Amino acid sequence: MMVTKKWKVDKFVDNLKSYPQIREAASLLKANEVVAFPTETVYGLGGNALSDEAIKKIYEAKGRPSDNPLIVHVSSVKQLDDLCSGLNEQAEELIKAFWPGPLTLILPSTGHVSEKVTAGLSTVAIRMPEDPIAKAVIEASGLPIAAPSANLSGRPSPTTAAHVLRDLDGRVAGVIDGGETGVGVESTVVDCTSKPITILRPGGITKEQLEAVIGEVGEDPALTGQDKAPKSPGMKYRHYAPAAPVYIVHGGMERIKEVLQQANNENKKTGVLTTDENKDGYPEADFVVACGRRSVPESVAHHLYQALREFDDTDVEIIFSESFPNEGIGAAIMNRLTKAAGGREL
């Protein structure tokens, strides 16, 4: 087991890329080691996107299936010249509107990145993160950085450095602690090679926001049917899951109370994932976690992974989750919950 270096970095200081911690992390990336760092969505596990060696280390550290493509992170639009073979008008409009930010574009690949990044596809997923630390690390390394979420494969994505270390301490070269992330769920992934442009993974930028810029936006059938090679991370495998099985319950509080009673009759330790408004409404449950305010769905997205991880510090045997409206940021929330539940719904 390797020794994982740990750095504390204040993202609000000037000229971040000159800081010793950032330079050391960038040096490790240039040596084809892997380093975790914060983005505005979740913590990413970064490696040199041009290196088969580095990408192999990402997959090994996470225990991630190698047919699950990775997102390449850049710090400038100029880097796209080496990575993709052209931008259509709509892709350019999305870049102007949402970069830097939580939007990933699927673009035709030049083939310069490692085949392990694209999982053998002719396209490459690229985004420009907004977080100052992520930007500084990429700039200091001088490389495009492939970075999936910095967690063991299948676990809830990390929104703090402590989450990263819980999963990956001793498995990666370094972790930059830049505090808690902002959005809390991963980027929206859109396929710019399709007509119309199609959402492959809902995330921090909503369908409504995209359509306000480019008009009609489609949604990929693979969001519900996993029968083809995934162009985007998060499309094929169970993700974001705590140790105990999760069930999404439709029908409101009364329905959850019914299934809680059934589980209690079977002497199971129960957990409920709810919101601030309802957290005192489940005295039948052994453990209740609120993941934000239902009236402010952005707060639910922000706290969702933290809430799912809290159940792992308990002895619950089954978790019942409230459901959310499948619109706006709620589409991303329900996508992540559905993955965490492995499709189990009541």
Ligand-binding annotation for 23, yes or no, is no
Q: From 223, 256, 285, give the residue that closes a domain.
A: 223
At 331 the pLDDT is 95
* Cα separation of the two ends of the chain: 42
Residues 81 and 160 in one domain: yes
Residue 228 within a domain: no
**Rounded distance between C-alpha atoms, residue 135 and residue 159, angstroms:** 17
CB 156 within 8 A of CB 241: yes
Residues 212 and 313 in one domain: no
Residues 208 and 290 in one domain: no
Residue 233 within a domain: no
Q: From 166, 191, 223, give the residue that closes a domain.
A: 223
Residue 84 within a domain: yes
At 42 the pLDDT is 97
Residues 65 and 209 in one domain: yes
Residue 265 within a domain: yes
Beta bridge partners of 123: 108
Domain count, the chain: 2
Question: What CATH number has the domain bearing residue 252?
Answer: 3.40.50.11030
Beta bridge partners of 246: 319
Ligand-binding annotation for 73, yes or no, is yes
Ligand-binding annotation for 64, yes or no, is yes
Residues 218 and 250 in one domain: no
**Rounded distance between C-alpha atoms, residue 218 and residue 199, angstroms:** 6
Output the pTM of the full model: 0.92
161-194 pLDDT, tens digit each: 999 999 999 999 999 999 999 999 999 999 999 9
Q: From 223, 255, 274, give the residue that closes a domain.
A: 223
Residues 188 and 278 in one domain: no
Residues 21 and 127 in one domain: yes
198-239 pLDDT, tens digit each: 999 999 999 999 999 999 999 988 765 544 445 555 544 456
Residues 180 and 45 in one domain: yes
Ligand-binding annotation for 188, yes or no, is no
At 239 the pLDDT is 65
Domain that holds residue 257: 246-340
Question: What CATH number has the domain bearing residue 70?
Answer: 3.90.870.10
At 1 the pLDDT is 73
Residue 239 within a domain: no
Segment-wise mean pLDDT, segments of 10 residues, the chain, 346 residues: 94 92 98 98 98 96 85 97 94 98 97 94 97 97 97 94 97 97 94 95 96 95 56 55 94 96 96 97 97 97 96 96 96 94 93
Ligand-binding annotation for 149, yes or no, is yes
User: Measured between alpha carbons, how far is residue 241 from residues 8, 210, 288, 342 in Å?
Assistant: 28, 28, 17, 8
Ligand-binding annotation for 321, yes or no, is no
Residues 134 and 254 in one domain: no
Ligand-binding annotation for 247, yes or no, is no
**Rounded distance between C-alpha atoms, residue 238 and residue 338, angstroms:** 9
Residues 195 and 290 in one domain: no
Residue 75 within a domain: yes
CB 189 within 8 A of CB 106: yes
Residue 346 within a domain: no
Residues 191 and 265 in one domain: no
Residue 149 within a domain: yes
**Rounded distance between C-alpha atoms, residue 320 and residue 272, angstroms:** 5
Ligand-binding annotation for 39, yes or no, is no
Ligand-binding annotation for 127, yes or no, is yes
Ligand-binding annotation for 187, yes or no, is yes
Residues 271 and 197 in one domain: no
